[in-house]
Amino acid sequence: LCSSPSNRSRPLSCVAVCGGTHGNEMSGIYLAKHWLRDPMELQRSSFAVTPFLGNPRAIEKCVRYVGQDLNRTFTTEFLSSTEAEDEPYEVVLAREINQTYGPKGSAQAFDFMFDLHNTTASMGTCLIVDSEESLLPMHMCHYIQMHYTRSPCPIYLYKLPGEETYSINSVAKAGLALELGPQPQQVVRADLFSQMRDIIACALDFIELFNKGTVFPAFEIEAYKITGRMDYPCYPDGEISAMVHPKLQDKDFLPLNPRDPIFQTFSGEEILYEGNTTIYPAFINEAAYYEKKVAFVKMEKHMFSIPGLQRD
Amino acid sequence: MTSCYVVHEAPVRRVAIFGGTHGNELSGVFLVKHWQENGDEIQRTGLEVRPFITNPRAVKKCTRYIDCDLNRVFDPDNLGRQITEDIPYEVRRAQEINHVFGPKNSNDAYDLIFDLHNTTSNMGGTLILENSRNNFTIQMFNYIKNALAPECCPVFLIEHPNLKYATTRSIAKHPVGVEVGPQPQGVLRADILDKMRKIIKHGLDFVHIFNEGKEFPPCTIEIYKIMEKVDYPRNKNGEITAVIHPSLQDQDWQPLNNGDPIFLTVDGETINYEGDCTVYPTFVNEAAYYEKKQAFVKTVKVKLTAKGIRSSLS
C-alpha cells in the first residue's frame, strides 16, 4: 500500500546446471561430474536442481566443440531445422537439449539454467546475463555480489540490441552464465573450481529465499554492456599480425581510453585505440576467440535501476 | 695461451630454430613465422640460422598434434619405420625433419637446434638440457643465465635412465629446449613472447662469440634434474579424483617437503607429499600432461660443471 510495488514472478521449480557446454573449460565439467555422482550440495527444499553435461563428445575429446560452437546454436534457425545426415553434432545436441530443458520460449521450459564457463582472460568471477531487463537474474547477481565476497563479480550483459539469444541457457525461462578466469583450456585450477562452486551455492540460496517469499527491494547496480568486438589486425592472408599489448593484457573490466595502446606488432610497433570514448574491455586474449579474430569485447559501464521482485 | 682445462669444440655453423612442434604453443609459432619473413634479428656473421615450423598441420588446426606427439617420436624405431598409408602424420613428419636437419647422431646433423615451447605451468623461461656432459650447451646456458640475470632462468635436465623423450631437437649435435610459461594453449602473450625472444637472442650471441674464438672458462651452474613423474589420484575408472592443491599451483621450482600439500580432492581433503628429501616440482598442472597421466614432475637441484671450451678453428 505504501511501498512501491514489486514485480511479481512465479516461484522456480525446475533448475538446471550445465557444465561442459565447451568441452575444454574444466571447472564446470569437474563440478557437473561431481554433482552427477553426488548431488547433495545442490539440494534445496523448494525446488529441484538437475546437473548435466552440455557437450559430452567435446568433453570426451577435451575440445571446445566437435562440429560447431554449441553455445551459438540455440537460435530458431538451428532449433527448428529438420534432421539432416551431414549436420554438425552440436545441432543435433541443441535440439535434444531444447527438448529436455525447453522448448525455448514455451511454458514447459525449465525455470532457470546455470551455464558454467572458463576463459583464458583475466575476468575473475564474472556473471553473464543476456540483458538488464532480465529481472530475476539481475536480482540473483545482486544477491551474489552482496553475499559471495571472496572476489568481485562484475556483471556482463552480452546481448547486442536486436540480436536473437543463442546461448544454451536461453532454452530455459531465465539463466545465468558464470565465466571464470584466467584458466587455460584443459586445465583445472583448485581456486577457480571452489569459487565457481561457492557462487552456485550462493545463487541456489537466492532461489530458495525467493521461492519462500522473501521480498527483494529495488536497487541500483553497475553492469557492463557489450557494444561491439575488436578484431585483431591481420595480414592480407588472414593471419593475425599483432598481439594484445602487454599494457592491455589482463586488464579486463578496466577503462581503456582513446590513444591507449591495444596491440603490439611482432616488430614492436604499438597500435593505439582509435575510439572517441572510454570503453571497458573483456575477454581480452581469450584463446577460443582467435578463430573468430576477436581480440576483446568492447563494453560500456552503466548504472541500472532494477525494480523490486517477489514471488507471485 | 690456452689453459689445459679447455677443450676444443667444433665451431657451430648451422643452427635451426623450431617453432610449432606443438601446434598450440603460440610463442614459437609466431616468432618463427615472423623470422621467416624478417630474419634480421636472428642472423649472426658466420652462422646459418634457419627458422622452421616443424608441425604445420597441427599449427594450422591450433592443436598439439594430429596423430601423436611429434616431440616423442625421434627414436630409431620411428625414424626407421617403413612409410605406409596408415603411418601417423607426425612419424612421417619426423622422418622428413630428420632428413633435413639430421640424420640424428650423424656428422651431417645440424650443430644446434633451439626448439620453442610453451607451458601452462608457471615455469618462467626454462632451458631444457638433454645431456649432462655437453660442455657447449652448459656453457651456453651459463651465458644465457648471466645475460638474463637478475631474472631467473632455470635449467631442467631431462637425462634419465628410463624416461626417454626422443625430442624433435634431439637430432642436433646440441639440442636446446626452450620452455616458457605460463601461457594457455592457443593464446599469444606479449610478455611470454618477449621472454622467449630474449633467450634466443642471448643464445645466438653466445654462438657467435664462441665461433669468433672467445675462450669460455670452466663454469658451474645449478640445474634441476628430473627424478620422476607424479600422476593425479584416480578412481578405478581412471578418472581424476583430486586436483593440484592451491598451495602447489604456480609453485614450479619451489621446494616441496615431506608433508606439504600436493592435491585437493573434490570433497575438500588434502593429500600431502610423502618423501624423504626436498624435491622441486615443475610442469605443475600442464594442460597437455593430463593425458600423459602427469600432474607434475619431481626434480632435484644439483650442480653441473662444464669444462672450459674454445672453438677449434679460431
> What average pLDDT does the segment B63-79 reach?
97
Write the pLDDT tens digit of every residue in B204-228: 999 999 999 999 999 999 999 999 9
To the nearest 5 percent, what fractions of chain A are helix, strand and coil? Answer: 25, 30, 45
Most confidently modeled of A75-84, A140-149, B3-12?
A140-149
Contact check, Cβ <8 Å, B30/A244: no
Query: CB of B28 within 8 A of CB of B188?
Result: no
Q: Is B241 on the interface with A (CB under 8 A)?
A: no
Above 60 in pLDDT, residue B314?
no
> Is residue A179 among the annotated active site residues?
yes
Per-residue model confidence (pLDDT) at position A26: 98
Q: Is B119 on the interface with A (CB under 8 A)?
A: no
Per-residue model confidence (pLDDT) at position B3: 54
β-bridge pairing B219-230 and B155-157: parallel
In a domain, B240, yes or no: no
> What average pLDDT does the segment A160-189 reach?
96
Residues of B in contact with A239 (CB under 8 A): 33
Q: Is B307 on the interface with A (CB under 8 A)?
A: no
Contact check, Cβ <8 Å, B189/A243: yes
Q: Which of A173, A179, A172, A124 is nearest to A157 (CA)?
A: A179
Please identify which of the residues A90, A132, A179, A286 carries the catalytic annotation: A179
Q: Which residue has the higher pLDDT, A82 or B99?
A: B99
Q: Is A298 on the interface with B (CB under 8 A)?
A: no
Contact check, Cβ <8 Å, B287/A185: yes
Q: Which residue has the cell 643465465?
A: B145
Reported confidence tier of residue A134, pLDDT bands at 50, 70, 90: very high
Q: Which residues neighbour A201 within 8 Å (Cβ) at sequence distance 6 or greater? A: A41
> Residue B61's closest chain A neighbor by CA?
A291
Q: How far is B92 from chain A (nearest CA, A)?
A: 24
Write the pLDDT tens digit of every residue in A177-216: 999 999 999 999 999 999 999 999 999 999 999 999 999 9
Q: Which residue has the cell 594430429?
A: B66
Helix spans in chain B (H): 26-37, 56-61, 76-79, 89-101, 135-148, 190-211
- The answer to whether the Cα torsion of B188, B189, B191, B195 is positive or negative is negative
Q: Is B167 annotated as a binding residue?
A: yes
Per-residue b or e along B27-53, where b marks 16 or more CB atoms closer than 10 Å to that residue's CB: bbbbbbbbbeeeeeebebeebebbbbb
Per-residue model confidence (pLDDT) at position B96: 97
Query: CB of B67 within 8 A of CB of B57?
Result: no
Per-residue model confidence (pLDDT) at position B161: 86
Per-residue model confidence (pLDDT) at position B1: 47
**Most B CBs within 10 Å, among A37, A61, A195, A243, to test the B interface:** A243
Domains annotated for chain A, with CATH where assigned, are 7-222+307-311 (3.40.630.10)
Residues of B in contact with A190 (CB under 8 A): 243-246, 249, 264
> Residue B32's closest chain A neighbor by CA?
A266
In a domain, B151, yes or no: yes
Q: Is B118 on the interface with A (CB under 8 A)?
A: no
In a domain, B290, yes or no: no
Q: Which of A204, A281, A220 is nearest to A248 (CA)?
A: A281
Domain that holds residue B15: 6-223+304-311
Question: Cis omega before residue B261 (within 30°)?
Answer: no
Write the pLDDT tens digit of every residue in B257-285: 999 999 999 999 999 999 999 999 999 99
Q: Is B8 annotated as a binding residue?
A: no
Reported confidence tier of residue A169, pLDDT bands at 50, 70, 90: very high
Above 60 in pLDDT, residue B2?
no
Contact check, Cβ <8 Å, B62/A291: yes
Q: Cell digits for A131?
A: 540483458
Above 50 in pLDDT, residue A17?
yes
Can you give the C-alpha Rg of chain A in angstroms?
20
For residue B145, the domain's CATH number is 3.40.630.10
H/E stretch holding A101 reads helix A89-101
> Residue B181's closest chain A neighbor by CA?
A184
Q: Which residue has the higher pLDDT, A183 or A1?
A: A183
- Residue A49's beta-bridge partner residues? A15
Q: Which residue has the higher pLDDT, B161 or A26?
A: A26
- Residue A181's beta-bridge partner residues? A124
In a domain, B217, yes or no: yes
In a domain, B252, yes or no: no
Task: Give the Cα-Cα-Cα angle B12, B219, B206 (nearest 5 degrees).
Answer: 30
Reported confidence tier of residue A5, pLDDT bands at 50, 70, 90: low
In a domain, B292, yes or no: no
Q: Is A117 annotated as a binding residue?
A: yes
CA distances from A105 to A50, A165, B204, B237, B249 (A): 19, 11, 63, 40, 43
Q: Which of A104, A223, A225, A263 is nearest to A173 (CA)?
A: A104
Above 60 in pLDDT, residue A4?
no
* End-to-end CA separation in angstroms for chain B: 13
Per-residue model confidence (pLDDT) at position B162: 84
Question: Cis omega before residue A103 (within 30°)?
Answer: yes
CA distances from A289 to A233, A246, B75 (A): 14, 18, 37
How far apart are the C-alpha atoms of A293 and A296, rounded to whole Å?
A: 9
Number of domains observed in the structure of chain B: 1
Per-residue model confidence (pLDDT) at position B4: 61
* End-to-end CA separation in angstroms for chain A: 16
Q: Is B289 annotated as a binding residue?
A: yes
Window A:32-51, CB contacts with B under 8 Å:
33-34
How far apart are the C-alpha atoms of A199 and A178, rounded to whole Å?
A: 9
Q: Cell digits for B219?
A: 663454469
Residues of B in contact with A187 (CB under 8 A): 120, 184, 285-287, 290
In a domain, B291, yes or no: no
> What average pLDDT does the segment B100-116 reach?
97
A32 exposure class (CB count in 10 Å sphere: 0-12, 13-18, 19+): buried
- The answer to whether the Cα torsion of A28, B120, B39, B21 is positive or negative is negative
Residues of B in contact with A264 (CB under 8 A): 190
B189 torsion bin: left (phi>0), alpha (psi -120 to 50), beta (else): beta
Above 60 in pLDDT, residue B158?
yes
Write the pLDDT tens digit of every residue in B56-67: 999 999 999 999
In a domain, B116, yes or no: yes
Q: Cell digits for A67?
A: 562440429
pLDDT mean across residues, chain A:
96
Q: Which of B91, B85, B115 is nearest to B20 (CA)?
A: B115
Contact check, Cβ <8 Å, B245/A246: no
Residues of A in contact with B120 (CB under 8 A): 184, 186-187
